[in-house]
Amino acid sequence: MIKHNSSLGRRSLLFSLILFCGTILLVSASIVAQPPSPRSVLGFTPADDRTIADWTQIRDYFTKLDAGSGKVKVQEFGKTTLGRPMIVAFISSEENIKNLDRYREMNQKLADPRRIPEGGIYDQASTILDNGKTIVSISCSIHSNEIVGSQMSMNLAYELATSDDVETKEILENTILLLIPSSNPEGIDIVASWYRKTLGTKSEGTVPPELYHHYAGHDNNRDWFMLNLKETQAITKLYWQEWFPQIVFDVHQMGQTGPRFVIPPFYDPPNPRIAPSIVREVGLIGYKMAADLQAKNIKGIATNTTFDMWWHGGFRSAPYYHNSIGILSEAASAELMSPVTITKEQLQRTRPARGLNSPLENVISHPDPWEGGVWSPADINQIEIVASRALLQMAAKFRRRYLENFYQLNKKDLMLDGSVPKAFVLIAGQPNTEAISRFLEILRWQGIEVHEMTHELWVKHSPEEEFHEIPLGSFLIFTDQPQKRNVLSLL
Ligand SMILES: [Zn+2]
One DSSP character per residue, 90-105 reads: EES-HHHHHTHHHHHH
Q: What is the number of other CB atoms lying within 10 angstroms of the CB of residue 481?
A: 20
Q: Ligand 1: distance of its center to the CA of 288 in Å?
A: 22
pLDDT at 23 over 60: no
Structure confidence at residue 32 as a pLDDT band (50, 70, 90)? low
Q: How far is CA 426 from CA 225, 413, 474, 484, in A?
A: 18, 22, 6, 17
Model confidence pLDDT, tens digit, residues 60-96: 999 999 999 999 999 999 999 999 999 999 999 999 9
Q: Ligand 1: distance of its center to the CA of 386 in Å?
A: 19
Tell me the mean pLDDT in the region 377-389.
98
So what's the pLDDT on residue 160? 98
Q: Ligand 1: distance of its center to the CA of 459 in Å?
A: 46
So what's the pLDDT on residue 48? 98
Structure confidence at residue 151 as a pLDDT band (50, 70, 90)? very high
Q: Ligand 1: distance of its center to the CA of 289 in Å?
A: 19
Structure confidence at residue 15 as a pLDDT band (50, 70, 90)? very low
Structure confidence at residue 7 as a pLDDT band (50, 70, 90)? very low
pTM: 0.92
Q: Ligand 1: distance of its center to the CA of 253 in Å?
A: 5
Q: Ligand 1: distance of its center to the CA of 182 in Å?
A: 12
Structure confidence at residue 455 as a pLDDT band (50, 70, 90)? confident
pLDDT at 416 over 90: no
> Which residue ranges does the chain devote to CATH 3.40.630.10?
38-413
Model confidence pLDDT, tens digit, residues 221-231: 999 999 999 99
- 139: enclosing H helix or E strand: strand 134-140
Q: Ligand 1: distance of its center to the CA of 270 in Å?
A: 20
> What whole-number distance in Å separates Cα of residue 336 and Cα of residue 51?
10
pLDDT at 317 over 80: yes
Model confidence pLDDT, tens digit, residues 178-207: 999 999 999 999 999 999 999 999 999 999
pLDDT at 8 over 50: no
Q: Ligand 1: distance of its center to the CA of 110 in Å?
A: 31
Q: Ligand 1: distance of its center to the CA of 191 in Å?
A: 14
Model confidence pLDDT, tens digit, residues 206-224: 999 999 999 999 999 999 9
Model confidence pLDDT, tens digit, residues 99-146: 999 999 999 999 999 999 876 666 889 999 999 999 999 999 999 999
181: helix, strand or coil: coil
User: DSSP letter string over 374-398?
Assistant: EE-HHHHHHHHHHHHHHHHHHHHHT
Q: Ligand 1: distance of its center to the CA of 330 in Å?
A: 7
Q: Ligand 1: distance of its center to the CA of 324 in Å?
A: 20
Contact 316, 268 (CB under 8 A): no
Contact 52, 192 (CB under 8 A): yes
Structure confidence at residue 409 as a pLDDT band (50, 70, 90)? very high
Give the mean pLDDT of the chain: 93
So what's the pLDDT on residue 18? 43
CATH 3.30.360.10 fits 38-413, yes or no: no
CA–CA–CA angle 168, 172, 177 (5° rounding): 115
